[in-house]
């Protein structure tokens, strides 16, 4: 067994049984953007143009989640339009921007995608995410989230927002369903299930 594969498998196996079960139930991964898919910093040019940086491994994790047959969505409080423009890089089934009421935005996503709240993982980092975290079957916060959110989370990532936290979550979600090893073998060009 490869060290990376065993690291994820060990991390998943070390979770309490109820948390492992929650990971196994997830059908939809819903993400905040600023502070989860990014490190929370916003670069503003002299002309007022804003830019955000997304970690390529988070994007890769989302595409692997999609390849496995599952969906993801974004709920963000800002209205920059950046998540919509990044949709070609990030496979979102739904995006809600200008969502200062994250619970209402999440309900809208659940209705559109016909998923119940107990079948979603929601990943947040700041106080606005609190109501959505309370709704989710699997509430997750990134490692550098606002400390007041920690009591709402079933899982806290080891990685920080914008630094692979989303990839950490997608790896665990795929591991929970027994899908990570086959996807990894395919990506690495291995033959046979034991390769």
What DSSP designation does 195 have? -
Half-sphere exposure (Cβ direction) of 10: Cα atoms closer than 13 Å? 7
Mean confidence (pLDDT) of the chain: 90
Give the pair of three-digit tokens for residue 11: 């991390």
pLDDT of residue 22: 98
- Higher-confidence residue of 160 and 80: namely 160
pLDDT of residue 85: 65
- In the sheet that holds 155-156, the strands lie side by side as 92-96, 71-75, 28-31, 120-124, 138-141, 155-156
Residue 123 and residue 156: Cα distance in Å, rounded? 9
pLDDT in tens, 108-134: 999 999 999 999 999 999 999 999 999
Domains of the chain in start order, with CATH, are: 3-187 (3.40.50.1000)
pLDDT of residue 1: 45
Residue 188 and residue 195: Cα distance in Å, rounded? 10
**What proportion of the chain, given as a percentage, has pLDDT over 70?**
90
pLDDT of residue 195: 36
pLDDT of residue 123: 98
Q: Which of 136, 96, 141, 103 is nearest to 120 (CA)?
A: 136
pLDDT in tens, 38-89: 998 888 889 988 877 888 999 999 999 999 999 999 999 887 666 666 666 7
Q: Which of 92, 65, 75 is nearest to 132 (CA)?
A: 75
């Amino acid at each position: 067994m490869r060290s990376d594969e065993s690291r994820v498998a060990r991390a998943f196996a070390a979770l309490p049984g109820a948390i492992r079960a929650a990971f196994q139930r997830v059908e939809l991964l819903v993400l905040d953007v600023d502070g989860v898919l990014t490190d929370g910093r916003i670069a503003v040019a002299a002309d007022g143009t804003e830019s955000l940086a997304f970690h390529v491994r988070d994007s890769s994790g989302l595409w692997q989640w999609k390849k496995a047959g599952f969906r993801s969505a974004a709920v963000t409080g800002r209205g920059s339009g950046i998540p919509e423009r990044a949709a070609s890089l990030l496979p979102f089934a739904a995006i809600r921007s200008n969502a200062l009421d994250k619970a209402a935005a999440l309900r809208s996503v659940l209705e559109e995608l016909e998923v119940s709240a107990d079948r979603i993982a929601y990943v947040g980092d700041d106080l606005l995410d609190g109501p959505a975290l309370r709704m989710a079957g699997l509430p997750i916060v990134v490692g550098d989230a606002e400390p007041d959110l920690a009591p709402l989370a079933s899982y806290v990532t080891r990685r920080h927002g914008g630094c692979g936290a989303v990839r950490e979550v997608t790896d665990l979600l795929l591991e929970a369903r027994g899908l990570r090893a086959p996807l990894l073998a395919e990506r690495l060009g291995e033959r046979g299930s034991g390769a």
